[in-house]
């Protein structure tokens, strides 16, 4: 396969005074399924439009296959963009839609039809070429949009939240479908989403964005297990945040003085903390356990509510104004439900908790 | 009829029987009194002899095809080339004006819907509408002044040395076509605007992303969406242009008569309302036939135009 590495080199994009993308540095390899994950308005679409060529960066460079893309129009780049609302042409048939890029390149009617049928087979929708776009279901439209984008074999497919219009069931089905298509055609997928489930299940690597800044880039399990900023820790997956000041550090373990008492956790990335530095300790709900006796790394809290969810039970507790969530696997033994207001002692292993410098967190 | 009944019943259910009856009667009165009856009496007229008042209702007052025969064959039995020629010329000129309007209005409507934003779009609309506060006759005379031998265009052209003798724009019908094209411009812009506005901008960008040049974007994406709008605009402009009277009267060259002027002459100068009616009916039928034919050719249905 040709080298079609996408390189973002100090890319900033501004609208007037407003910085939509701030100094993005990133390398996306050929054939990778790469996702940008971030809340609404964080600059994902802006960055994608810049890669596809609909806008140029205010500062920095976009390189594809080692070539600077400045001034190269969207039609001249080896990319194809799938729009947030797909942008299928409603007055053309499905086959005409899929073959439109070939029509533009002057392919004969017969070749166009042949390629459209090939692509319809590829997306497992044979024989719908003569249907109107309005006759398709949401998931079918989705796949037709992918087929159209793949018609002229781009090296890089850019997808802007393509599943956001679908209902939950279909969305989950389409995740697997998209991943399968990507592996079949071997094209680089650059995928935008604000749904972490999508990003984590489909991607080889994920870039987490917040307010125009790329906070962390890594494989899904790394992003989940070893977040590098408070934002990533709070945005990806459920997490409890306990804020406090650094009391001391021994090797990889940091102890914080917090309103809930002294607690310890891993120092993210082997970072050194100064005593007194403002930090947050993050511990996942499934890593918090209920214990009998008080000891190191335990928290005395009051139960607020609990919800039985079949496989697990979710508890919401409170300690000195800090909200703590627990998720307990149900073992099958019918435990007597706790009453709200009950005193709990929560414990966790320090190596399961992560200490990160204080910073903006994702809003609920 | 069944459709009308269900429509009436659902309307009555929603707004009450009193309101529904009022609306039904008002609409019926409008249609019958103002549209059907006058046209029917015209039709009736067109099949009668032009008799002195004393003989109306007498034994000579019979139905006849004479007025229609006259349009085809004139006084002697040769083809009435004069009137038929004028009708054809009128139709061709109206088609020309309609095409001119489509070409002017499609870009304006597209820009208005997709490129102009906020203030500039509003200014454009105001700029388009305000001139139509000036009445039709005044506007026609203004065009006469503009295109006259000593008018603005000739002065500028002569002053800049583009041509060295005043051009007779009136005789060349340039003034007439400009005046007619301008007169119905809004009736073309707004239906096209309506149709094109529904287009999602992302479709244009998607087509560009796939490498389509601007003309193909318009040909394959925008124009098909604009088609019903163009059809309804073109129908209105064509009908109104072929039926226009004031502009041809004021702006037309001395040698080119509009068919409506012939009708006018039968009614007024010759006091032959019967023949005038026949000519008017002929104009209406020919126009309807032509529009229907064009809709067939361009594969537009009446339902689409109504949207
Ligand atoms: N043309 C523009 N002019 C000014 N500001 C813009 C422009 N386009 C985007 N922005 C701003 O840039 C920020 C990022 O927008 P962007 O569309 O990239 O967000 P996003 O991450 O794709 O969000 P979503 O998930 O809602 O699609 C937003 O605050 C938006 O208001
Ligand atoms: Mg977006």
Complex-level ipTM: 0.75
User: Taking a C-beta distance cutoff of 8 angstroms, is the pair A30, A4 a contact?
Assistant: yes
Nearest CA to ligand 1 atom 6: A15
The pLDDT assigned to B11 comes to 83
A32 within domain boundaries = yes
**Considering only CB atoms, which chain B residues are within 8 Å of A119?**
none
A221 & A242 share domain: no
Which of A54, A87, A105 is the best mutation test for B, with the most CBs of B within 10 A? A87
Closest CA to B102 of B205, B199, B230, B3: B230
CATH number at residue A296: 2.40.50.100
Q: Does position A305 have pLDDT exceeding 80, yes or no?
A: yes
What pTM was computed for the model? Answer: 0.78
**In this structure, is residue A186 part of a structural domain?**
yes
Testing ligand 1's pocket by substitution, the residue of A42, A193, A209 carrying the most ligand atoms inside 8 A of its CB is: A42
In a domain, A231, yes or no: no
Contact A104 B203 (CB under 8 A): no
At residue A170, the pLDDT reads 80
Do A191 and A261 belong together in one domain? no
pLDDT at A165 over 70: yes
> Which pLDDT value is given to residue A335?
65
Angular region, A301: left φ>0, alpha ψ -120 to 50, beta rest = beta
Q: Which of A204, A225, A246 is the last residue of a domain?
A: A225
Query: Pairing state of beta strands A312-319 and A298-308?
Result: antiparallel
A93 vs A97, A101, A126, A210, B92, CA distance in Å? 6, 14, 14, 40, 36
Q: Containing domain of residue A115, as a range? A: 6-225
Q: What is the mean pLDDT of residues A55-73?
A: 92
Judged against a pLDDT cut of 80, whether residue A65 lies above it is answered with: yes
Q: Give residues with Cβ within 8 angstroms of B68, minimum separation 6.
A: B46, B278, B282
Assess whether pLDDT exceeds 90 at residue A278: yes
- Do the domain assignments include residue A364? no
A215 and A270 in a common domain = no
Q: Is residue A363 assigned to a domain?
A: no
Is there a single domain that holds both residue A283 and residue A220? Answer: no
B9's CB contacts (< 8 A; 6+ apart) are none
Whole-number pLDDT of residue B306: 63
The reported pLDDT for the residue numbered B148 is: 85
Predicted pLDDT at A336: 66
Residues A252/A266, Cβ–Cβ less than 8 Å: yes
A90 and A221 fall within a common domain: yes
When mean pLDDT is compared across A67-71, A107-111, B113-117, the lowest value belongs to: B113-117
Task: Tell me if residue A357 falls in helix, strand or coil.
Answer: strand
Size of interface A-B (CB pairs under 8 A): 56
State how many domains chain A has: 2
Residue A131 is predicted with a pLDDT of 93
Q: pLDDT digit string (tens) for A333-364? A: 666 677 888 888 999 999 999 999 998 888 76
How many of the other CB atoms lie within 10 Å of CB of B136? Answer: 15
- Per DSSP, the residues of A258-311 read ETTEEEEEEEGGG----TT-EEEEEE-GGG-EE-SS--TTEEEEEEEEEEE-SS
- Cβ distance A223 to A208 under 8 Å? yes
Ligand 1 pocket member A20 (CB < 6 A): yes
Q: Is the Cβ atom of A162 under 6 angstroms away from ligand 1?
A: no
| Tens digit of each residue's pLDDT (9 = 90 or more) over A234-276 | 999 999 999 999 998 888 899 999 999 899 999 887 788 889 8
Give B241's contacts (C-beta < 8 A, 6+ positions apart): B93, B94, B97, B98, B180, B183, B184
Tell me whether residue A340 is in a domain: yes
Residue A213's contacts (CB-CB under 8 Å, 6 or more residues apart) are A22, A23
Question: Rounded CA gap, A116 and A94, in Å?
Answer: 9
Identity of the residue in B202, B212, B225 whose CB atom sits nearest the CB atom of A104: B212
pLDDT for A339 equals 81
Q: What's the A18 CA to ligand 1 centre distance in angstroms?
A: 10
Nearest to A275 by CA among A251, A253, A249: A249
Contact assignment for B206 to A87 by CB distance below 8 Å? yes
**Quick one: A162 and A198 in the same domain?**
yes
What is the tens place of the pLDDT at every residue in A168-184?
Answer: 888 888 888 889 889 98
Among all bound ligands, the one having the nearest atom to the CA of A209 is 1
Closest CA to A170 of A144, A194, A138: A138
How far is it, in rounded angstroms, from Cα A53 to Cα A30?
18
CB A254 within 8 A of CB A273: yes
Joined tokens for residue B249: 């009267």
Query: What is the SS3 assignment for A191?
Result: strand
Residue B176's nearest CA partner among B265, B257, B84, B234 is: B257
Instruction: Say if residue A146 is in the same domain as residue A289.
Output: no
- The pLDDT tens digits of the residues spanning A27-62 come to 999 999 999 999 999 999 999 999 999 999 999 999
* A105 and A140 both lie in a single domain: yes
Q: What are phi and psi of B274, to 5 degrees?
A: -65, -50
Determine phi and psi for B88, rounding to 5 degrees.
-65, -45
Q: Please give the Cα distance from B21 to B36 (Å, whole number).
A: 20
Selected for mutation to probe chain A from B205, B206, B226 (highest A CB count within 10 Å) is B206
Residues A124 and A154 occupy one common structural domain: yes
Q: What are chain B's domains?
A: 81-305 (1.10.3720.10)
CB-based contact A83 B202, cutoff 8 Å: yes
In degrees, rounded to 5, the angle at the alpha carbon of residue A221 between the alpha carbons of residues A218 and A222 is 45
pLDDT tens-digit readout, A192-208: 999 999 999 999 999 99
CATH of the domain at A181: 3.40.50.300
The residue written with tokens 């009277």 in the block is B245
For atom 2 of ligand 1, the residue with the nearest CA is A15
> Confidence band (pLDDT; 50, 70, 90) for A163?
confident
| Within-domain flag for A247 | yes
Tokens, residue A340: 């709200």
pLDDT of residue A364: 63
Among A190, A225, A260, identify where a domain stops. Answer: A225
Q: What is the pLDDT of residue A212?
A: 93
In-domain check, residue A105? yes
Average pLDDT over residues A61-86: 91
pLDDT at A279 over 70: yes
The pLDDT value recorded for residue B1 is 63
- Pick the last residue of a domain from A203, A225, A247: A225
Examine the domain organization and report whether A49 and A139 are in the same domain: yes
* Mean residue pLDDT across chain A: 90
Identify the segments of chain B with pLDDT beneath 70: 1, 305-307
Same domain, residue pair A79 and A108: yes
Give yes or no: residues A78 and A54 share one domain: yes
* Residue in A with minimal Cα distance to B200: A87
Cβ contact B187:B233 at 8 Å: yes
Q: Are A6 and A62 in contact (CB under 8 A)?
A: yes
């Amino acid at each position: 396969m040709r080298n079609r590495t996408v390189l973002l080199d100090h890319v900033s994009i501004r609208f007037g005074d407003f910085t939509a993308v701030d100094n993005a540095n990133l390398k996306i390899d050929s054939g990778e399924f790469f996702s940008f994950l971030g809340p609404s308005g964080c600059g994902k679409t802006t960055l994608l439009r810049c890669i596809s060529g609909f806008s140029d960066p205010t500062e920095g460079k976009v390189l594809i296959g080692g070539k600077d893309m400045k001034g190269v129009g969207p039609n001249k780049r080896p990319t194809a963009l799938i729009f947030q609302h797909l942008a299928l042409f409603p007055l053309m048939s499905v086959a005409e839609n899929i073959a439109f890029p070939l029509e533009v390149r002057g392919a004969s009617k017969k070749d166009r039809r042949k390629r459209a049928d090939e692509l319809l087979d590829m997306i497992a929708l044979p024989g719908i070429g003569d249907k109107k776009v309005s006759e398709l279901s949401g998931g079918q439209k989705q796949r037709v949009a992918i087929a159209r984008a793949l018609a002229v074999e781009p090296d890089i497919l850019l997808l802007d939240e393509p599943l956001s219009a679908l209902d939950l069931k279909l969305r989950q089905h389409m995740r697997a479908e998209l991943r399968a298509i990507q592996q079949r055609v071997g094209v680089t997928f650059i995928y935008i989403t604000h749904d972490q489930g999508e990003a984590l299940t489909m991607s080889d690597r994920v870039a987490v964005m917040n307010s125009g800044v790329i906070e962390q880039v890594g494989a899904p399990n790394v992003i989940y297990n070893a977040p590098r900023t408070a934002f990533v820790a709070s945005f990806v997956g459920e997490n409890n945040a306990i804020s406090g000041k650094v009391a001391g550090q021994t090797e990889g373990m940091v102890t914080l003085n917090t309103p809930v008492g002294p607690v310890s956790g891993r120092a993210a990335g082997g970072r050194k903390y100064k005593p007194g530095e403002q930090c947050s300790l993050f511990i996942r709900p499934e890593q918090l356990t209920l214990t009998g006796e008080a000891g190191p790394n335990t928290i005395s809290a009051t139960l607020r509510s609990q919800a039985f969810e079949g496989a697990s039970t979710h508890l919401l507790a409170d300690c000195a104004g800090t909200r703590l969530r627990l998720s307990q696997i149900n073992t099958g033994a019918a435990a007597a439900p706790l009453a709200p207001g009950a005193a709990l002692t929560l414990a966790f292993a320090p190596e399961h908790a992560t200490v990160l410098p204080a910073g903006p967190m994702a809003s609920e | 009829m069944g459709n009308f009944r269900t429509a009436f019943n659902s309307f009555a259910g929603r707004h009450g029987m009193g309101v529904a009856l009022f609306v039904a009667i008002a609409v019926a009165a409008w249609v019958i009194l103002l549209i059907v009856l006058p046209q029917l009496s015209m039709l009736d007229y067109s099949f009668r002899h032009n008799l002195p008042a004393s003989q109306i209702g007498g034994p000579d007052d019979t139905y006849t095809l004479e007025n229609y025969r006259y349009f085809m064959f004139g006084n002697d039995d040769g083809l009435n080339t004069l009137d038929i020629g004028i009708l054809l010329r009128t139709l061709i000129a109206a088609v020309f004006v309609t095409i001119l309007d489509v070409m002017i209005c499609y870009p304006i409507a597209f820009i208005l819907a997709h490129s102009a934003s906020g203030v500039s779009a509003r200014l454009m609309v105001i700029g388009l509408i305000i001139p139509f506060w000036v009445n039709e006759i005044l506007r026609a005379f203004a065009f006469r002044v503009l295109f006259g031998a000593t008018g603005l265009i000739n002065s500028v052209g002569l002053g800049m040395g583009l041509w060295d003798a005043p051009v007779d724009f009136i005789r060349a019908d340039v003034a007439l076509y400009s005046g007619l094209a301008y007169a119905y411009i809004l009736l073309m812009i707004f239906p096209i605007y309506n149709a094109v506005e529904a287009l999602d901008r992302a479709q244009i960008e998607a087509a560009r992303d796939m490498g389509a040049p601007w003309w193909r974007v318009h040909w394959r994406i925008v124009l098909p969406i604009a088609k019903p709008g163009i059809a309804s605009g073109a129908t209105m402009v064509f009908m109104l242009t072929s039926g226009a009277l004031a502009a041809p009267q004021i702006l037309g060259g001395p040698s080119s008569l509009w068919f409506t002027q012939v009708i006018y002459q039968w009614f007024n100068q010759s006091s032959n309302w019967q023949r005038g009616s026949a000519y008017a009916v002929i104009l209406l039928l020919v126009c309807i036939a032509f529009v229907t034919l064009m809709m067939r050719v361009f594969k537009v249905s009446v339902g689409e135009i109504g949207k």
